[in-house]
Amino acid sequence: MASRPCLYAFLLLLAFQSTMIKVNTVSLPPPECRPEVASTKDKFEFLLNFLILKIELFLRPSIDRGINDISPGLVQGPVPIGAEVANLDNATRKMIEEFGLAGIGHLRAIINTTLLNAPIPMPQLDISRQAYNIFLTLILNDTKKSNPSYNPYANTNSFLFAAVFASSFLNQYYAGIMPSIVGNDERRLLSGIALYEAGVFGALRAELNARVNLTVPPFNFTVGILTNLTAQLANQLARCGVKDEGLIVPLQLGAENRTRSNVVPGDVNSLAYARSEREIMRIAYTTGNATRPGGLFPRGLKGAIPRRIRTLKLS
Ligand SMILES: *[C@@H]1O[C@H](CO)[C@@H](O)[C@H](O)[C@H]1NC(C)=O
Ligand SMILES: *[C@@H]1O[C@H](CO)[C@@H](O)[C@H](O)[C@H]1NC(C)=O
Ligand SMILES: *[C@@H]1O[C@H](CO)[C@@H](O)[C@H](O)[C@H]1NC(C)=O
Ligand SMILES: *[C@@H]1O[C@H](CO)[C@@H](O)[C@H](O)[C@H]1NC(C)=O
Ligand SMILES: *[C@@H]1O[C@H](CO)[C@@H](O)[C@H](O)[C@H]1NC(C)=O
Ligand SMILES: *[C@@H]1O[C@H](CO)[C@@H](O)[C@H](O)[C@H]1NC(C)=O
Ligand SMILES: *[C@@H]1O[C@H](CO)[C@@H](O)[C@H](O)[C@H]1NC(C)=O
Ligand SMILES: *[C@@H]1O[C@H](CO)[C@@H](O)[C@H](O)[C@H]1NC(C)=O
C-alpha cells in the first residue's frame, strides 16, 4: 500500500523533470525581439493602432469613407494624411471594402469586451504616396530622389502590396500575443478576430499570387520580385530573423523544404510567424528603431506600451 504515494511522488518528479527539460530546451529570443511585458488591455490597445491603420487604408481607397463616416463615435483624432481613392478593379474594390468594414466590427467588439472606452484616440496616420515611397526607396537602396515613385493607389497590383502589409502586421501581432491573453472573453474575442484576419491575409496573398508574373507599374519588376524585396526589407528593419517571406522562395523557406510556392508564409513547421511590439514598430516607422517614429505613423503609436518604449528609449 505504501507503493501508491511513492508512485505519485515518482510521477510528480517525472512531470517536474519534463517541465524542467522543456524550459531548458526552449531558447528565449534575444531581448530586442521579446514581446513587452504588458497587460491584456495594453495589448489590445496596442493592436488598435494597426487595426485603425487597416480600416482607414481599406475604406478610404475603396469607398472614400473613414471609420467615423461609417460608425460615428468609435474613434477620435486626426484624419489620415494622404489617403486617396485607388484605381482598383471592381472585384478587388468589393473585397477591400468588405475587409475594411469587417474591421469596424472588430473595433466595436474590442471596445465592448475590454476596458477601452470609445472614442478610441486615433494615431496620426500617414498613408500618402510619399510615406509608402520611403519603403520603396529603402527596398531599392535608392538615394536618388528623382526615380519613378511608387503610388499604392495607381492600380490594383500596387494597392495589394499596401493592403497585404497592413494585414500582415495584425496577423503577426495576434500570433505574438495570443498565448498570453488573460480572460475567457478576451481570448474568445482575440481568436475570433485573429482567425478572420488570417482569412483576409490569405485572400490578399492569393490575389497577389495570381499576379505573381505581372509587373508593378511604373516599375520594371514583377509582383513576385517586389513581394520578395518587401519581405527582405521588413526582416531587415525588424532585426529578428526571417518572418516575412516572398511568394516564390528558395526551397528551404517552402513548406517541408519541398516547394518554392509560398502563398502563405510560415516557419519550419509552417506555423504562423509572431512579431513583438518593437519589431512591428521598427517596420511601420521605417526607421528600424521603435523610439523613432516615421513612415506610416509620423507621430508614433498610441497607448501604454509605445509610451513605455519611448520612455525607456528601447530601440
Ligand atoms: C465596375 O463598376 C462600375 C460601377 O459600379 C461599373 O460602371 C463598371 O461597368 C464596372 N466595370 C466592370 C468591368 O465590370
Ligand atoms: C457587448 O457585450 C455583451 C456581453 O459581453 C453582449 O451581450 C453584447 O451583444 C455586445 N454588444 C455588441 C454590440 O457587440
Ligand atoms: C538592397 O540592399 C540589401 C542589403 O543591403 C539587399 O539585400 C537587397 O537585395 C538590395 N536591393 C536591391 C533591389 O538591390
Ligand atoms: C509565373 O511564371 C512561372 C515561370 O515562368 C510559371 O511557372 C508560373 O506558373 C507563373 N505563375 C502564374 C500565376 O502565372
Ligand atoms: C526592364 O526589364 C527588361 C528585362 O529584364 C529589360 O530588358 C529592360 O531594359 C528593363 N527596362 C527598364 C526601363 O529598366
Ligand atoms: C528572396 O529571394 C531570394 C532569391 O531567391 C532568396 O534568397 C531570399 O531568401 C528570398 N527572401 C524572402 C524573404 O523571401
Ligand atoms: C528544412 O530545412 C531546414 C534547414 O534549412 C531544417 O532545419 C528542417 O529540418 C528541414 N525540414 C524538413 C521537413 O526537412
Ligand atoms: C533610436 O532612436 C532614439 C530617438 O531618436 C535614439 O535616442 C536612439 O539612439 C536610437 N537607437 C538606435 C539604436 O539607433
Residue 208: per-residue pLDDT? 97
Instruction: Assign 143 a pLDDT band (cuts: 50, 70, 90).
Output: low
Q: Which ligand is nearest to the CA of 139?
A: 3
In a domain, 139, yes or no: yes
Q: Which ligand is nearest to the CA of 212?
A: 4
The arithmetic mean of pLDDT across residues 186-207, rounded, is 98
Any ligand 7 atom below 6 A from CB of 257: yes
Residue 141: per-residue pLDDT? 77
| Secondary structure string (H, E, C) spanning the chain | CCHHHHHHHHHHHHHHHHHHHHHHHCCCCCHHHCCCCCCHHHHHHHHHHHHHHHHHHHHHHHHCCCHHHHCCCCEECCCCECCCCCCCCHHHHHHHHHHHHHHHHHHHHHHHHCCCCCCEECCCCECCHHHHHHHHHHHCCCCCCCCCCCCCCCCHHHHHHHHHHHHHHHHHHHHHHHHHCCCHHHHHHHHHHHHHHHHHHHHHHHHHHHCCCCECCCCCCEHHHHHHHHHHHHHHHHCCCCCCCCCECCHHHCHHHCCCECCCCCCCCCCCCCCCHHHHHHHHCCCCCCCCCECCECCCCCCHHHHHHHHCCCC
- Which grid coordinates belong to 267? 516557419
Residue 19: per-residue pLDDT? 46
In a domain, 9, yes or no: no
In a domain, 21, yes or no: no
Residue 266: per-residue pLDDT? 97
The arithmetic mean of pLDDT across residues 88-110, rounded, is 98
Closest C-alpha residue for ligand 6 atom 11: 228
Closest C-alpha residue for ligand 7 atom 2: 252
In a domain, 205, yes or no: yes
Question: Which has the closest alpha carbon to 305: 278, 270, 275?
Answer: 278
Whether the predicted pLDDT of 137 surpasses 90: no
Closest C-alpha residue for ligand 3 atom 14: 140
Containing domain of residue 115, as a range? 35-312
The arithmetic mean of pLDDT across residues 89-112, rounded, is 97
Distance in angstroms (rounded) separating the CA atoms of residues 216 and 230: 13
The arithmetic mean of pLDDT across residues 75-95, rounded, is 97
- Residue matched to cell numbers 517552402: 254
The arithmetic mean of pLDDT across residues 58-72, rounded, is 97
Distance in angstroms (rounded) separating the CA atoms of residues 223 and 30: 33
In a domain, 194, yes or no: yes
For residue 88, how far is its CA from the centre of ligand 1 (angstroms)? 11
Whether the predicted pLDDT of 23 surpasses 70: no
Q: Which of 310, 313, 314 to mutate to test the pocket of ligand 8 (most atoms within 8 A of CB)?
A: 313
Residues at CB less than 6 angstroms from ligand 3: 140-141, 229, 232
In a domain, 97, yes or no: yes
288: how many CB neighbours lie within 10 A of its CB? 17
Question: Burial, 165: exposed, middle or buried (Cβ in 10 Å; 0-12, 13-18, 19+)?
Answer: buried
Residue 21: per-residue pLDDT? 44
Closest C-alpha residue for ligand 2 atom 2: 112
In a domain, 22, yes or no: no
The arithmetic mean of pLDDT across residues 137-142, rounded, is 82
Residue 27: per-residue pLDDT? 75
Residues at CB less than 6 angstroms from ligand 6: 228, 231-232, 242, 245-246, 249-250, 253
For residue 242, how far is its CA from the centre of ligand 6 (angstroms)? 10
Question: Which has the closest alpha carbon to 244: 210, 216, 224, 272?
Answer: 272
Residue 25: per-residue pLDDT? 52
pLDDT tens track for 280-297:
999 999 999 999 999 999
Instruction: Assign 232 a pLDDT band (cuts: 50, 70, 90).
Output: very high
* Whole-number CA gyration radius for the chain: 21
Residue 18: per-residue pLDDT? 46
Average pLDDT, the chain: 91
Q: Structure pTM?
A: 0.88
Q: How many domains, the chain?
A: 1
In a domain, 227, yes or no: yes
- Which grid coordinates belong to 55? 480600416
The arithmetic mean of pLDDT across residues 171-179, rounded, is 96
Instruction: Assign 56 a pLDDT band (cuts: 50, 70, 90).
Output: very high
